């Protein structure tokens, strides 16, 4: 219930979650553009798997943001006004669902998705292999974080250390890949083969 007290007292809770939702939408546009830029060989196939994972992951993240944002704020404010058993039960339910969805977001959007994009890059001759390894490493950490959180629940280690590191690695990868795509740093699609 400590989280609900914090949410009720926050004047920026809903606004922050709205900005997270917009960030997710922009990230999805970037991930789709990056995924569709891989048109040759095995990389194209891996990119389609990565795109499917990105769409599913962002969907889970949007639902997470909706529940953790405006729904959590509504329940928290009602809890402060009315400490009845129904309000307490609703507060507990919303908090638990929010935590479960957050765990799913970590595993899907910040775990499986970067691993698949990393494998895509590693199967493409036009991108630096280091970018593939960065995405795989960030995704592996995301999968580990989601797995730990799934088994043990949210802890300081998962929410405040491992998740920020994993998500930062994937965001750095996304910016670098987006920048390379923007600058057109790809060889022509009809490149000569040996």
Please give the full DSSP string across 139-180, using - where no structure is assigned.
HHHHHHHHHHHHHH-S-HIIIIIIHHHHHHHHHHHHHHHHHH
Whether the pLDDT of residue 178 is over 80: the answer is yes
State the pLDDT at residue 186: 57
Share of the chain above pLDDT 90, in %: 71
Alpha-carbon torsion (32, 24, 119, 126), positive or negative: positive
pLDDT recorded at residue 47: 97
Residue 152 in contact with residue 3, Cβ under 8 Å?
A: no
**Residue-averaged pLDDT of the chain:** 90
Q: Where are the alpha helices (DSSP H) in 67-126?
A: 72-81, 85-107, 113-122
What average pLDDT does range 88-113 have in this prediction? 91
Question: What value does the mean pLDDT take over residues 157-169?
Answer: 96
Whether residue 175 is predicted with pLDDT greater than 80 in this model: the reply is yes
| Mean predicted confidence (pLDDT) in 2-8 | 82
Output the DSSP codes for 9-42: H-SSHHHHHHHHHHHHHHHHHHHHHHHHH--SHH
Confidence band for 173, pLDDT divided at 50, 70 and 90: very high
Q: How far apart are CA 109 and CA 15, in angstroms?
A: 22
């Amino acid at each position: 219930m400590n989280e609900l007290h914090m949410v009720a007292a926050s004047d920026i809770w809903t606004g922050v979650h709205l900005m997270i939702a917009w960030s997710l939408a922009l990230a999805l546009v970037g991930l789709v553009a990056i995924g569709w830029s891989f048109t040759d060989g095995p990389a194209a196939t891996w990119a389609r798997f990565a795109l499917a994972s990105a769409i599913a992951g962002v969907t889970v993240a949007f639902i997470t943001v909706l529940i953790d944002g405006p729904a959590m704020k509504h329940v928290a404010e009602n809890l402060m006004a009315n400490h009845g058993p129904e309000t307490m039960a609703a507060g507990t339910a919303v908090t638990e669902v929010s935590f479960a969805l957050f765990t799913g977001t970590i595993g899907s959007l910040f775990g499986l998705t970067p691993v698949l994009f990393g494998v895509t890059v590693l199967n493409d001759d036009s991108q630096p292999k280091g970018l593939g390894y960065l995405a795989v490493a960030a995704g592996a950490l995301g999968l580990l974080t989601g797995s730990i959180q799934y088994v043990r629940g949210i802890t300081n280690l998962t929410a405040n250390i491992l998740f920020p590191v994993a998500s930062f690695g994937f965001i750095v990868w996304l910016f670098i890949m987006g920048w390379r795509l923007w600058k057109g740093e790809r060889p022509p699609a009809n490149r000569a083969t040996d």
